[in-house]
Structure 1
Amino acid sequence: MSVRDLIDVSDWSALASTPLVSVYMLAYRHEKFIGQAIESVIGQQCEFPFELIIGDDCSPDRTRQIALDYQKRLPGLVRVLYSDSNVGAHANAARCRAACRGRYIAFCEGDDYWHHPLKLRIQVEAMAEEDDVVLCHTDYDRLVGRRLKRNCHRSSPTPYLAQGHAYDRLLHHWTVMTATALYRADVLREFDASPFNNPQWPFGDYNKALFAATRGRIRYLPVSTATWRKVAGSATNSDPSRMLTMRLAGLACREAFMRAYPVDESTRRDCLGFANRGVLNAAFHACDLQAFDAARARLVALGASPGSPSDALRRTALVWGWPARLYGRFRSLMLRLTADGL
């Protein structure tokens, strides 16, 4: 998409000339949720100026119209970016980041929302306290259908929670929930110009956090500020083949970072072992015998045992074909029903 195809609905006479924070919201087919997402951002109680940039990726529903209605009501706060054709999530995010004018950048996708009215204030204060902090994130709630799990980091603690010098921990596990994150804008501009901003990877949050971890420290605040909504059809809750693609990209992302920013051998083996185990599981659910065998071979090369009895049984099911396909269809159905709140 060329720059001239982009439509930027912004009232420059009403907007703050130098917002401290830019919040961008990626939106596609979010008409059921985007009103709540927008309200959660514009309701932030701040003593500094900020802006909300909504990037609609040619939604076929009323998402764009809802966003434009808010821009008309709040021209000093809301901006809307769109084009007359779909550009994809990566390009949509890139054009939103390019439009951000703040010293800090936050995120709230159109199907998530912030539930803490002081989210931006407490995070900006935390970032301002220490010059070497490049990213601040918090605890979060998770909404699956009608079921709400509160304080997910506190209720399910992990040794890999990203805080301090967190590069090694993030290589092992992604623990920065995007809707809670506040980045230094200069770090994201550097990320955008780097090879780690890879459009072939079907995500943009994990690589951003890893890149930030190579540039400074990460601050974690143990307070829940945002709700992540798990929606049927999303990349993490869709058909098994898409999950396999996601896992393979996560493996490739880790390998790329470790080539550029090496870690000790023990950490390398641990992180790649974790990633390949995820690929192995995803390959089984996707009924992909070739990907399953490749992941097993990589695990053996990393020093893992040739395979547990359960892995051998799963491989047999893949060879036979129908047991694995039956299990995969049942699992996909249960994921959709769970996300729909049934």
Structure 2
Amino acid sequence: MHSEVPLVSVRVITYNHGRFLRECLDGIMAQETSFPFEVVIGEDCSTDNTRQICQEFQARYPDTIRLLLHAQNVGAQANARLAREACAGKYIAFCEGDDYWTDPTKLQQQVDFLEANPAYVLCFHNCWMKFEQQPDREMELFHDYTKADYAIPDLIGKWLIPTASVVFRNHLFTEYPEWLRNAVVGDTPFYILLASFGSLKLVPGIMAVYRRHDGGATNLLHGYRYWERMIELYCAINEHFKHRYSKEIIPVLKWFHYKLTQLALQDNDFEKYRHYAQRSLLFNTKMLLRYQHIGIFHYRIAFMGLTAISPLFFKVRVQRQVQNKA
């Protein structure tokens, strides 16, 4: 237990993680460090025994663990932000309540790197992916890392950084842009903002487990509102950076509109389909004219254009989709 000012704050956000939280907190408290650290837990009014586990660990480690026990459910993004803002350390590490760390030297390794390399604002590593429904199945979360240094263009529209892997510099900014406060997904937009202050480093090793389970955030259904909010988010990011990354953002916006056309196709809603198809084709034209970029999903774009011409083409496409599912 440490009574000194912590060098690192470990932010844990948790909601209905009663099955997993002890493993998460045990992995954090097992860290072997030459510096003091604190653990800031944001507990969002769980309906299981999550809050009791938080209080149990806080009683065991009163000098290390601080609890943010919300009086009412504030939602995942607000819980994450409030817990992050409560972190006092020079560095912040993330570990959500259903993930856990496996290497007791993880924090020491990452902090040593950041202390020695001031040009970097964040470092991360790969994780194992564990499937709760298939306990014998385990695999690396990402197989396709091709380099060690990353910047904003690498992050746009991609998930490259496991939440349980990051350690980053705190206090780089004091005001959160509105687009980040209201983001439908929080981590990647936050890393994009951090990357405007310096480089990101992939450090070697696999030092944590990302858990896949039925209650995980990645299993939420992606309906119209989800993709519309993703469009709003990336448009706002584009504005924030004064369109410096339009070449990377426009194909992502086109893909989001494509996803919306597929929802409209499933719902047999021609008007929505035509609206989203026209928007997607507009982004494709922008890429061609401004960047001489041939775009992505060429055959899909061609089919989309034909299907949006008339209700007849649309009806044929709907019927074909029904037949393919049969």
What does residue 203 of structure 1 align with?
Answer: 185
- Residue from 296, 304, 307 that aligns with 2:301: 307
**Residue 134 of structure 2 corresponds to residue 146 of structure 1:** yes
- Give SS of 1:302's match: helix
CA distance in structure 2 between the aligned counterparts of 1:177 and 1:281, rounded to whole angstroms? 28
Offset at residue 264 of structure 1 (A): 5.8
Paired positions, count: 305
Within a 5 Å distance, the mapping from 1:165-314 to structure 2 comes to 165-187=150-172, 189-190=173-174, 192-199=175-182, 201-241=183-223, 244-261=224-241, 262-263=243-244, 266-281=247-262, 292-303=273-284, 307-309=301-303, 312=307
**Residues 240 and 249 from structure 1, CA distance in 2 versus in 1: closer, same or farther, beyond 3 angstroms?**
closer
Which string of whole-angstrom CA distances, capped at 9 and with x for unpartnered residues, describes residues 124-168 of structure 1?
111112112111111111122225433332x3x156x7x535111
SS in 2 for 1:51: strand
Q: Per the alignment, do residues 225 and 293 of structure 1 end up closer, same or farther by CA in structure 2, a change over 3 Å counting?
A: farther
In 2, Cα distance between equivalents of 1:269 and 1:85: 38
1:126–1:219 Cα contact (<8 Å) kept: no
1:323 alignment partner in structure 2: 322
Determine the C-alpha separation between the residues in 2 that align with 1:282 and 1:18.
Answer: 51
Query: Which deviations, in whole Å up to 9, do the C-alpha atoms of 1:197-236 show, x marking residues without a partner?
Result: 232x222112101101112111111321221112224332
Contact 2:127/2:165 (8 A) holds in 1 = yes
- Higher mean alpha-carbon deviation, 246-255 vs 64-73, is at 246-255
CA deviation string 1:281-326 (max 9, x = no partner): 56656777665444422221123667345995995488569939x9
Residue 259 of structure 1 deviates from its aligned partner by 1.8
RMSD: 3.2
In 2, are the aligned partners of 1:113 and 1:227 still within 8 Å (CA)? yes
**Contact 1:28–1:110 at 8 Å: present in 2 too?**
yes
Aligned partners of 2:238 and 2:245 also within 8 Å: no
Checking the alignment, whether the CA contact within 8 Å between 1:16 and 1:76 is kept in structure 2 is yes
1:23·1:53 contact (CA, 8 Å) conserved in 2? yes
Residues 181-205 of structure 1, C-alpha deviations (whole Å, 9 max, x = no match): 1121113x43x53223232x22211
Matched, 1:164 2:163: no
Secondary structure of residue in 2 paired with 1:173: coil
Q: TM-score, normalised by structure 1?
A: 0.78
Q: Distance in 2 between matches of 1:57 and 1:317?
A: 47
**Structure 2 unaligned blocks of 5 or more:** 285-294
With over 3 angstroms needed to count, the CA separation of the structure-2 counterparts of 1:173 and 1:94, relative to structure 1, is closer
Matched to 2:87, the amino acid is C
Q: Report which of the two structures shows the higher radius of gyration computed on alpha carbons.
A: 2
1:279 Cα deviation from its structure 2 partner: 4.5
1:59 aligns with 2:75: no
Map of 1:108 onto structure 2 = 95
Distance 2:113 2:302 in 1: 46
Deviation at 1:119, TM superposition (A): 1.3
Residue 291 (structure 2) aligns with: none
| C-alpha separation in 2, matches of 1:320 and 1:300 | 23
SS in 1 for 2:41: strand
1:62 Cα deviation (Å)? 0.6
**Letter paired with 1:307:** I
CA contact (8 A) 1:21 1:49 kept: yes
Asked whether the equivalents of residues 255 and 280 of structure 2 are also in contact (C-alpha less than 8 Å), the reply is no
Extract structure 1 runs of 4+ deviating beyond 6 A.
Answer: 285-288
Q: Distance in 2 between matches of 1:105 and 1:301?
A: 41
- Closer/same/farther in 2, CA of residues 289 and 39 from structure 1, 3 Å limit: farther
Unaligned segments of structure 1, at least 5 residues:
1-13, 331-342
Distance 2:270 2:116 in 1: 51
Closer, same or farther: CA 30–271 of 1 in aligned 2, 3 Å: same
Q: Measure the CA separation in 1 of the matches of 2:280 and 2:271.
A: 14
Q: Which residue of 2 aligns with 1:24?
A: 11
- Asked if the contact 1:196–1:211 (Cα under 8 Å) also holds between the matched residues in 2, the reply is no
Is the contact made by 2:238 and 2:246 (CA closer than 8 Å) also made in structure 1? no
Residue identity matched to 2:140: N
Say which SS state the counterpart of residue 136 (structure 1) adopts: strand
Q: Residue 336 of structure 1 aligns with which residue?
A: none
Q: Which moved more, 1:129-138 or 1:301-310?
A: 301-310
